[in-house]
Structure 1
Amino acid sequence: MTSIGEALIAQLVARDVDVVFGIPGVHTVELYRGLAASGIRHITPRHEQGAGFMADGYARISGKPGVALVITGPGLTNTLTPMAQARADSVPMLVLSGVNALPNLGKGLGLLHELPDQRAVASSVAITSDRVEDQDDLTPLLDKVFTQFATARPGPAHIEIPLDVARFEYAQPIAPAAETSPPQASDDDLARAAELLQSAKAPVILAGGGARGSNADLQALAERLDAPVVLTANARGMMHRHRLCVPASPSLEAVRKLIEDADVVLALGTELGQTDYDVNATGSIAPMKSLIRVDICPWQLQSYGATLALRADAGSTIRSLLELLAANSGNDGTGTQRAEETRQKAFDEIGPEMRTLVQLLDTIREAVPGAIMVGDSTQLIYAGNLYYDHDRPGGWFNAATGYGALGYGIPAAIGAALAEPKAPVLCITGDGGAQFTLPELMVAVDENLPITFVIWNNHGYREIATWMKAADVTVIGCDPTPPDFSAVAASCGIPFRRCGTEAKEIAEALRNAMSETRPSIVEIDASDFPFTS
């Protein structure tokens, strides 16, 4: 007999799932019954929050949904923070959980791991939360979730399977995955968009995370239109060092002016959210004279007034526009000048401290070219989100945007390394953020992942202390004592290097670390930063 739990695993295989992240428990034993023989790789984190963040990092690099398998109650609630981060950044994540037996749900019987209403809890962050109650539910619910991932704005989905239901017989054939494809813009809308862009004298392109899989096509479109391309944090790495690339936050005044002065703005796969477009919380983003907005999410298209809204996949829309637009579509060659002026003014605007940090990021990039850089909320990452030109499309992402979950970096880097084992992976985290998920280092050890964990150690929450001082609030709670990271590395059995904030020291430490075939830690002693000289 095949059980519903076993059929679940077979259905995941049919949907090209090859990795799951989870911690087994008595409430998921039946979901594990078919796992060992399935060919799916199981990764055991040290906490369910780590499972969720690993699934997130895996999804961003692989392009496939990240899957977490957790127990009912605390397993599910521990995963809520990663689910919220995934929702904020449109990352496809499937959280599969157990739940108590079907007849006992909602009765408050004091059962192990019982929640009054687990689906209600999950629904607070998940796009959908569903329950399998018999064999007829399994395939439709999985099809629903995977169709959502492919055809609408992706994010976290939750499916729970009760203890008793997981043991029920599954007497149906294992169905293939449902055919899915993202929505496409109509010919009329594409023609109208091409007409607006063709006649534009000073166009600007805003590229978000939804466009980051289309680097070559985006570059070709920018050149065709002579349009500067402003990259949000989740689009960094595209068009590296290109004359039309503006790798700077659209919250900066210089970039806001570029957008405001444009006669047509083409926004591709970007939610126009505060943490990208209004990080200083002024209450508004740069006004736009004429906005063509392309997004896969219908309600997202309604969140900001657009001259023309196209519900469509950014990549296919870019390709369609390239077919419709004539070569050198009416541009006069000023796009390069506008982009260069904006880059220079934006870099000047961020101030000396942030410029120094950006230059250190440049040092890191040159020391480890083509790396996937996964970041936590820390000074280097804040600076990079303001201004940084990465050299790998899709290779710069972090949790210092959107939901802003601290502790993201270490587990997300593990997920990224599993998704792309041939790429160098750097995790950039602070001493404070690292302590949220430090035990996950052992997952990198178990899986022999050659990740370099770069810890920016400024001995506390320096950025928050700065904000408190600026607000004339007595600084308190910002000086948690960091552990001895060399001892942490020794306890994990991995190499350790320490350096200062001089560029030469950092580059040498990273180059030496990259010679390792296992995880390692590079600690940057940033106790003297910000510099006083």
Structure 2
Amino acid sequence: MSEAKTHVYQSIAQSVLDHDIETMFGLMGDANLFMVDHYVRAGGGTFVPAAFEGSSVLMALAWTHVTGKVGAATVTHGPGLTNCVTALAEGARGHIPMVLLAGDTPVINPQNLQNIDQREVVTVTGAGFEQMRTPQTAAEDVAHAFYRARVERRPIVLNMPADFMWQEVTHRKVVHPVFTTPAYVPEGDDLDQAIGMIASARRPVILAGGGATGAREQLIRLADRLEAPLATTLKAKGLFNDHAYNMDIFGTLSTPAAYDAIAKADCVIAFGASLHSFTTDRGKLMKGKRIVQVNDDPAAIGRNLHPDAALVADAALTADNIVHWLDEAEIAPSGFTAELDSAALTAHPTEAAGKAGTGHVNYVHVLDRLEEVLPKDRILTTDGGRFMTEVWCRISAPHPKRFLVTANFGSIGLGLQEAIGAGIACPGVPVVHFTGDGGFMMGGVNEFNTAVRLGLDMIVIVANDSAYGAEHIQFLDRGMDPGLAQFEWPSFADVATALGGQGMCVQSTEDLDAALAAIESRSRPLLIELRLDPHDVPRMRL
């Protein structure tokens, strides 16, 4: 008996489901609509329609971050793909695996109005490109795209020619296993050198980056053994919550007490961190210190700062191994934590509500009030822009998996889309999103209604100084007129209400009290617009 035949679009949809991907983000067009239809109606998958193609990529990136699985999105050909360029660059710079199923114009019609060289478009973003070779290899090509995304830790774009879709093939389940055995713990001179530096340190600090978020307990055990404080890079924010000597973010975003403690340290043991300039305050925080860098990615070691000792190894296994050898050698704890005021390590300076002028509120004061009222069990997401550094410092994140920063490519306007993807990935958990006015106009306003349509529990805080803040500051610093960086935006609160949500405008202490009460009673996506004086917004701490 001959095997049952199916169409290529059906085989592609089933291949995605074969990888246990039951949620796909996207925008339908000529080249992918039948695949999406089969994915939903025959496969039982959930399709989340975005308002803009690039948004679907960002949603999938956030879904990957929260779930730990490879996210999937789909767009059509031509502008469907070119509209994803910035989002793909964000994912590639952040080393986030996801697969974008991109339709392509028919191979037999090179004069198609939307025909472009997809490979060239994708390559410049840093994402990977996978060509669907033939109708018969569709399932294999989908499987290889998912495999590459996990192994290469970046988005992979799978090109799907439209004229393949209705050709008949025999579907076969193809899933390539990815071996995830932790990297080995090295032996020999490198390990001896690293342990020697750690054992002789009098004021050691443990630093965890995004590559060490699965090693919380092991790193705490090492820190307690050494009597060393703990800190994280921005991407690992929240990893050491509730530990007595948690310093939160290491570097330019540290509290004054934490910065002083880091400055006094004589050894930094960094796990899963690339030690870029913001973490090290452009190298100033590393002067006069021994640096031990542990990372399972060899390319991350020495990328930004060359350590004194380096181990290409798994963070958790290495931390346990260091504790073992410290115990074997009967090395005494450093006693560094006894010198520190644990309460001051995470205490940022406060500001009074009355500092702001009429019609505006003080941003720092508002953030501190929001931290008191916002749901504790939450997902925290932020857009790019000058407002965000104070958010990163003052608004807590429950865990790195529930904290998303859309700043890998230095862009604004990407955050609300990722907030939606994170909310889909973690049903029932409220999403708190911070953005600036320019970022919201650029990418948030076109997807706020998507959050409404999906019924997400979302709180959006828009810091509105009616300006492009970073540019405004640069004009002022040069003694120039900042007028070209200033804007008369519409009322974001009114826009949110018109889009089906609830909008609140905060221009006074009384308005703030009402907005905080609205957080407690919200029943649909809530947008809180903070009216700020562009001359009275804290500078970026980067």
Alignment TM-score, normalising by the size of structure 1:
0.86
Asked if 1:21 is matched to 2:28, the reply is no
Q: Which runs of 5+ in 2 are unaligned?
A: 357-361
How many residues of Structure 1 are paired with residues of Structure 2 in the alignment? 518
User: What does residue 98 of structure 2 align with?
Assistant: 93
Task: Check conservation: 2:293, 2:310, Cα contact below 8 A.
Answer: yes
CA distance in 2, matches of 1:315, 1:10: 37
* Secondary structure in structure 1 of the residue aligned to 2:311: strand
CA distance in 1, matches of 2:74, 2:321: 39
- Displacement, 1:283? 7.8
User: What does residue 118 of structure 1 align with?
Assistant: 118
CA distance in 2, matches of 1:39, 1:402: 34
| Greater mean deviation of Cα atoms: 307-316 or 94-103 | 307-316
| Greater mean deviation of Cα atoms: 253-262 or 507-516 | 253-262
User: What does residue 276 of structure 2 align with?
Assistant: 273
User: What does residue 314 of structure 1 align with?
Assistant: 315
CA shift digits 1:301-353 (9 cap, x unpaired):
24232333333443554455556553996323213535759848x94699x99
Taking a change above 3 Å as real, the CA distance of residues 349 and 308 of structure 1, as seen in their structure-2 partners, is farther
**1:500-511 superposed matches below 5 A:** 500=507, 502=509, 506=512, 509-511=515-517
- Displacement, 1:263? 3.6
Task: Check conservation: 1:129, 1:158, Cα contact below 8 A.
Answer: yes
Alignment TM-score, normalising by the size of structure 2:
0.84
* Secondary structure in structure 2 of the residue aligned to 1:35: helix
Taking a change above 3 Å as real, the CA distance of residues 372 and 294 of structure 1, as seen in their structure-2 partners, is same
Asked if 1:479 is matched to 2:478, the reply is no
User: What does residue 529 of structure 2 align with?
Assistant: 523
Task: Check conservation: 1:126, 1:158, Cα contact below 8 A.
Answer: no
CA distance in 1, matches of 2:99, 2:36: 16
Task: Check conservation: 1:58, 1:419, Cα contact below 8 A.
Answer: yes
CA distance in 1, matches of 2:68, 2:128: 20
Query: In structure 2, what residue type is equivalent to 1:3?
Result: H
Query: In structure 1, what residue type is equivalent to 2:183?
Result: Q
CA distance in 2, matches of 1:501, 1:308: 53
CA distance in 1, matches of 2:88, 2:59: 11
* Secondary structure in structure 1 of the residue aligned to 2:484: coil
Asked if 1:31 is matched to 2:32, the reply is no
**1:420-499 superposed matches below 5 A:** 420-437=426-443, 438-499=445-506
User: What does residue 335 of structure 1 align with?
Assistant: 337
- Displacement, 1:527? 3.8
User: What does residue 408 of structure 1 align with?
Assistant: 414
Taking a change above 3 Å as real, the CA distance of residues 71 and 17 of structure 1, as seen in their structure-2 partners, is same
Asked if 1:286 is matched to 2:286, the reply is yes
Taking a change above 3 Å as real, the CA distance of residues 126 and 391 of structure 1, as seen in their structure-2 partners, is closer
User: What does residue 69 of structure 2 align with?
Assistant: 64
User: What does residue 248 of structure 2 align with?
Assistant: 247
CA shift digits 1:402-439 (9 cap, x unpaired):
31221122111111111112222111112221111202
Asked if 1:202 is matched to 2:206, the reply is no
CA distance in 1, matches of 2:324, 2:146: 30
User: What does residue 264 of structure 1 align with?
Assistant: 267
1:393 counterpart (388, 399, 410): 399
Q: Which runs of 5+ in 1 are unaligned?
A: none
Taking a change above 3 Å as real, the CA distance of residues 235 and 512 of structure 1, as seen in their structure-2 partners, is same
CA distance in 2, matches of 1:161, 1:103: 13
* Secondary structure in structure 1 of the residue aligned to 2:485: coil
User: What does residue 238 of structure 1 align with?
Assistant: 239
Taking a change above 3 Å as real, the CA distance of residues 306 and 277 of structure 1, as seen in their structure-2 partners, is closer
Task: Check conservation: 2:88, 2:126, Cα contact below 8 A.
Answer: yes
- Displacement, 1:242? 3.0
- Displacement, 1:232? 1.8
Task: Check conservation: 2:463, 2:531, Cα contact below 8 A.
Answer: yes
- Displacement, 1:523? 1.7
Taking a change above 3 Å as real, the CA distance of residues 358 and 16 of structure 1, as seen in their structure-2 partners, is farther
CA distance in 2, matches of 1:298, 1:144: 24
* Secondary structure in structure 1 of the residue aligned to 2:95: coil
CA shift digits 1:438-463 (9 cap, x unpaired):
02011111111011111122222234
Task: Check conservation: 2:240, 2:246, Cα contact below 8 A.
Answer: yes
Taking a change above 3 Å as real, the CA distance of residues 275 and 12 of structure 1, as seen in their structure-2 partners, is farther
CA distance in 1, matches of 2:378, 2:174: 38
User: What does residue 361 of structure 1 align with?
Assistant: 367
- Displacement, 1:134? 1.9
Query: In structure 2, what residue type is equivalent to 1:362?
Result: D
* Secondary structure in structure 2 of the residue aligned to 1:11: helix
CA distance in 1, matches of 2:285, 2:132: 43
- Displacement, 1:202? 2.0
CA distance in 2, matches of 1:494, 1:220: 46
CA distance in 2, matches of 1:491, 1:396: 29
Query: In structure 1, what residue type is equivalent to 2:239?
Result: M
User: What does residue 359 of structure 2 align with?
Assistant: none
CA shift digits 1:343-383 (9 cap, x unpaired):
48x94699x999x7455433222212232121113444122
2:54 counterpart (49, 52, 63): 49
Taking a change above 3 Å as real, the CA distance of residues 317 and 87 of structure 1, as seen in their structure-2 partners, is farther
- Displacement, 1:186? 3.0
* Secondary structure in structure 1 of the residue aligned to 2:327: coil
Task: Check conservation: 1:374, 1:425, Cα contact below 8 A.
Answer: yes
* Secondary structure in structure 2 of the residue aligned to 1:481: coil
Task: Check conservation: 1:101, 1:162, Cα contact below 8 A.
Answer: yes
Query: In structure 2, what residue type is equivalent to 1:244?
Result: Y
Taking a change above 3 Å as real, the CA distance of residues 90 and 176 of structure 1, as seen in their structure-2 partners, is closer
- Displacement, 1:124? 1.2
CA distance in 2, matches of 1:489, 1:389: 23
CA distance in 1, matches of 2:428, 2:59: 17
Percent of matched pairs sharing the same residue: 24
Taking a change above 3 Å as real, the CA distance of residues 411 and 288 of structure 1, as seen in their structure-2 partners, is farther
- Displacement, 1:511? 4.3
Task: Check conservation: 1:98, 1:163, Cα contact below 8 A.
Answer: yes
Taking a change above 3 Å as real, the CA distance of residues 273 and 2 of structure 1, as seen in their structure-2 partners, is farther
User: What does residue 132 of structure 1 align with?
Assistant: 132
**1:69-88 superposed matches below 5 A:** 69-88=74-93
- Displacement, 1:30? 4.1
CA distance in 2, matches of 1:270, 1:518: 38
CA distance in 1, matches of 2:134, 2:506: 58
Query: In structure 2, what residue type is equivalent to 1:292?
Result: V
- Displacement, 1:480? 1.9
CA distance in 2, matches of 1:444, 1:148: 31
Taking a change above 3 Å as real, the CA distance of residues 264 and 275 of structure 1, as seen in their structure-2 partners, is closer
Taking a change above 3 Å as real, the CA distance of residues 198 and 172 of structure 1, as seen in their structure-2 partners, is farther
User: What does residue 8 of structure 1 align with?
Assistant: 12
